[in-house]
Structure 1
Amino acid sequence: MPEPGTPAPSPSPSASASARTPGPAPAAASTGRAPAPSAPLPTSPTTVLLCLVLVELSSGVTQGFLGPLLKGLTTTLHVTVADLNWISVANLLASVAFTPVLSRLGDLHGHRRVLRWNLALVLAGSVLVGVSRSFGLLLIGSVLQGAFAGFFPLLVGILRNRGSAGQNRRGISVMVAALVAGLAFGTVASGLIAQYVARPTAALWVPACAVALALAVTWPLLPESGERPGGRTDWLGALLLCAGLVALMLALGQGGSPGWAWTSPRTLGSLLGGLALTALWVRVELRTAEPVMDVRLFRRRNVVVVSAVTLTFSSCMLGLLVANPVFLGTAPAEAGYGLGLAPLTTAFALLPNMLALVAGALLAPALAGRITDRLTLVTGSLLMAAGNLATFAWHTALGPYLVFTAVVGLGSGLLQHATRTLAVEAVPRHQTSVGSGINELLINVGGSLGAAVVLSVFAAGTAAGHRLPAESAYTRAWLLCTAVSLAGAALALLYRRPNETPAPR
Structure 2
Amino acid sequence: MTRAKTLGALASVVGFLAFVEFTSGILQGYYTPMLTNIARNLGIHDADVNWLEGTQLMLSALVVPAFAKLGDMVGHKRMLLISTAITAAASLVLPFTDVFAVFLVAWALQGFYVVWLPLEIALIWSRSRSMSGRSGITARAAGLLVAALELGAITGALVGGALVDALPLTVVLLVPAIAVTVCFFVIWFGVKESPEPTGGRLDTVGLVIISLALISLTGGLSFLRLNGVGDVLAWSLVGLGVLLVWPFAIWELRHDDPLIDVRMFRSPALGPVFLTAGLFGVSVLGAQAPLSTFARTDPAVYGYGLGTSGFATSLIIGIYLIAMIAGALLFPTIARLVTPRVTLMGASVLVAVGFLLFLPFHAAYLQLITNMVIVGLGSGALVAALPAAAASAAPPTQTGVATGLTNSVKTIGGAVASCVFGIALINHAAGGATEGTAGSLSGYITVWIVCGVTALAAAVLLAFVPKEAFTDKAVVEAESQPAVP
Decide: shared fold, TM above 0.5: yes
C-alpha contact 1:286 1:295 (8 A) present in aligned 2: yes
Q: Which residue identity lines up with residue 206 of structure 1 in the other structure?
A: V
User: Which of residues 181, 184, 201 is equivalent to 2:154?
Assistant: 184
C-alpha contact 2:273 2:390 (8 A) present in aligned 1: yes
User: Which of residues 229, 243, 262 is equivalent to 2:212?
Assistant: 243
User: Which of residues 172, 180, 186 is equivalent to 2:142?
Assistant: 172
The separation in 1 between residues aligned to 2:433 and 2:138, in whole angstroms, is: 51
The separation in 1 between residues aligned to 2:208 and 2:93, in whole angstroms, is: 26
Give the match for residue 194 of structure 2: 225
How far the C-alpha of 1:495 sits from its partner, in A, is 1.3
Higher mean C-alpha displacement, 223-232 vs 45-54: 45-54
- Report the RMSD for the aligned CA atoms in angstroms: 2.0
User: Which of residues 374, 378, 385 is equivalent to 1:418?
Assistant: 385
SS of the counterpart of 2:255?
Answer: coil
C-alpha contact 1:328 1:341 (8 A) present in aligned 2: yes
CA deviations over 1:156-203 (Å, ceiling 9, x no partner): 222011123222111111111122222222222222111111x12332
Give the match for residue 194 of structure 1: 164
Q: Which residue identity lines up with residue 191 of structure 1 in the other structure?
A: G
User: Which of residues 77, 86, 97 is equivalent to 2:42?
Assistant: 77
SS of the counterpart of 2:127?
Answer: coil
Q: Which residue identity lines up with residue 341 of structure 1 in the other structure?
A: T
CA deviations over 1:400-434 (Å, ceiling 9, x no partner): 22111100111111222221211111112221110
Q: Which residue identity lines up with residue 60 of structure 2 in the other structure?
A: S
Query: Normalising to structure 1: TM-score of the pair?
Result: 0.87
C-alpha contact 1:111 1:154 (8 A) present in aligned 2: yes
The separation in 1 between residues aligned to 2:465 and 2:224, in whole angstroms, is: 34
The separation in 2 between residues aligned to 1:238 and 1:79, in whole angstroms, is: 34
C-alpha contact 2:387 2:404 (8 A) present in aligned 1: no
Give the match for residue 3 of structure 2: none
CA deviations over 1:26-63 (Å, ceiling 9, x no partner): xxxxxxxxxxxxxxx99733321221111111222222
C-alpha contact 1:306 1:423 (8 A) present in aligned 2: yes
1:427 matches 2:394: yes
Computing the radius of gyration from Cα coordinates, the structure with the larger value is 1
User: Which of residues 265, 278, 294 is equivalent to 1:311?
Assistant: 278
Counterparts in 2 of 1:209 and 1:286: CA distance versus 1, 3 Å:
same
Query: Normalising to structure 2: TM-score of the pair?
Result: 0.91
1:402 matches 2:372: no
Give the match for residue 479 of structure 1: 449
Identity across the alignment (%) = 30
Higher mean C-alpha displacement, 386-395 vs 438-447: 386-395
Q: Which residue identity lines up with residue 174 of structure 1 in the other structure?
A: L
The separation in 2 between residues aligned to 1:94 and 1:256, in whole angstroms, is: 18
SS of the counterpart of 2:187?
Answer: helix
The separation in 2 between residues aligned to 1:298 and 1:167, in whole angstroms, is: 25
C-alpha contact 1:128 1:140 (8 A) present in aligned 2: no
1:366-381 aligned at under 5 Å gives the runs: 366-381=333-348
The separation in 2 between residues aligned to 1:229 and 1:130, in whole angstroms, is: 40
C-alpha contact 1:43 1:223 (8 A) present in aligned 2: no
Q: Which residue identity lines up with residue 81 of structure 1 in the other structure?
A: D
C-alpha contact 2:224 2:231 (8 A) present in aligned 1: no
C-alpha contact 1:194 1:202 (8 A) present in aligned 2: no
Aligned residues: 462
CA deviations over 1:216-245 (Å, ceiling 9, x no partner): 222112101111121111111111111211
Counterparts in 2 of 1:171 and 1:336: CA distance versus 1, 3 Å:
same
C-alpha contact 2:351 2:379 (8 A) present in aligned 1: yes
1:23-102 aligned at under 5 Å gives the runs: 44-102=9-67
Give the match for residue 494 of structure 1: 464
CA deviations over 1:275-315 (Å, ceiling 9, x no partner): 22222211211121111111121121111111111122221
The separation in 2 between residues aligned to 1:279 and 1:181, in whole angstroms, is: 40
SS of the counterpart of 1:338?
Answer: coil
Q: Which residue identity lines up with residue 406 of structure 2 in the other structure?
A: N
1:347 matches 2:301: no
C-alpha contact 2:91 2:110 (8 A) present in aligned 1: yes
* Stretches (4+) displaced over 4 A: 499-505
The separation in 2 between residues aligned to 1:147 and 1:171, in whole angstroms, is: 22
How far the C-alpha of 1:465 sits from its partner, in A, is 4.7
Which consecutive residues of structure 2, in runs of 5 or more, have no partner in the other structure? 1-5, 129-133
The separation in 1 between residues aligned to 2:326 and 2:463, in whole angstroms, is: 24
How far the C-alpha of 1:442 sits from its partner, in A, is 1.1
The separation in 2 between residues aligned to 1:112 and 1:486, in whole angstroms, is: 36
Give the match for residue 421 of structure 2: 454
C-alpha contact 2:348 2:378 (8 A) present in aligned 1: yes
Q: Which residue identity lines up with residue 169 of structure 1 in the other structure?
A: A
User: Which of residues 49, 65, 89 is equivalent to 1:124?
Assistant: 89
